[in-house]
Amino acid sequence: MSTGNVPWIKDDQREVTRVCAQTGVMLLQHSAESALAESMARRLGLALGMDAVEIALMANGITVSTIQAGRCHTTVRRNLDRGINMHVVTEVQRTILQVEENKLDLAGVARRLDAIKPSRYPRWLVSVMAGLSCAAFARLGSLAAGSEANIGTFVLTFVASGVAMQVRQWLALLHFNPLVNFTAAAFVATSIAAQGVICPWVDRPKVAMSACVLLFVPGFPLINAVSDMVKGYINTGISRGVMAVLLLLACCCGIVLAMTVWNAWTWL
């Protein structure tokens, strides 16, 4: 028996299985929810002429089987987390919608999927926006509590979270583990905000302390975890939820470390 192509599986079925697996993995890697990854991979296979496409999702991998005329072809791909990127998710989905409208053939899909490059916003812009977001959170928090804070509190929050976001992006660029990354960045954010407690030029340092770390709340993984579980993908939901809680705990370590170093226990 030859170790090359298995003769009873046609080459285009093999190729369809490959693009289905690639679609599923690209969606999972960029933090799409499991239901989307599964339905997109299935719809792509059906649109390319398969009789059935079966997909099993695991916490860090995907198995795809295509069935055509009673013949079955299965492949497994490993899923490495590439970070949240909605641009990739949108592009992959639009490619598959084009296939369903018969505007793209098999070779075209493979070309389009390979050509998708994750686009990113300029790092300084993201940092500025993260700083503004946390300053807005500080204002929203005092709005809900019906209290007031002076402009110094918001400026301190802006600086603390903007610098922390810059640190976080820089460490992510150096391929540090996200847990290490979040601990270090939360330490930086709390250290800067703690200066408001030490030198009392800010009237509500507690607001700044709690608002400046809000950019580290893993909102996307938390929401994905619950919606995966609601839609029946319990195992991917649990793994995403555990990762989100670990990221929160990592931030917590950074905050406690900073509060210990500066002796500013204002949180509770």
Report the distance separating Cα 197 and Cα 89, nearest Å.
43
Tell me how crowded residue 232 is: count the other CB atoms within 10 A of its CB: 9
Is 230 an interacting residue with respect to another protein (CB under 8 A)? yes
Shortest distance in whole angstroms from residue 263 CB to another protein:
13
Q: Where does this chain touch another protein (CB under 8 A) — which range of 17-25, 60-68, 109-117, 129-137? A: 129-137
- φ/ψ of 54, rounded to 5, equals -115, 135
Helix (H, G, I), strand (E, B) or coil at 54: strand
Is 130 an interacting residue with respect to another protein (CB under 8 A)? yes
- Give the x-and-dash track for 139-158 against another protein (CB under 8 A): xxx-xx--------------
Applying the rule CB under 8 A, the residues between 2 and 31 that interact with another protein are: 31
Shortest distance in whole angstroms from residue 11 CB to another protein:
30
Residue 139: exposure state from Cβ atoms within 10 A (0-12, 13-18, ≥19): middle
Nearest to 197 by CA among 255, 136, 131, 259: 259
Nearest to 195 by CA among 252, 257, 139, 258: 258
Nearest to 25 by CA among 62, 66, 75, 64: 62
Task: Number of residues interacting with another protein: please give it, by CB under 8 A.
Answer: 58
Shortest distance in whole angstroms from residue 145 CB to another protein:
10
Shortest distance in whole angstroms from residue 250 CB to another protein:
10
Residues near another protein (CB under 8 A): 31-33, 36, 39, 43, 84-90, 93-94, 97, 118-121, 125-126, 129-130, 132-137, 139-141, 143-144, 210-211, 213-215, 217, 219-220, 222-223, 225-227, 230-231, 248-249, 251-252, 255-256, 267-268
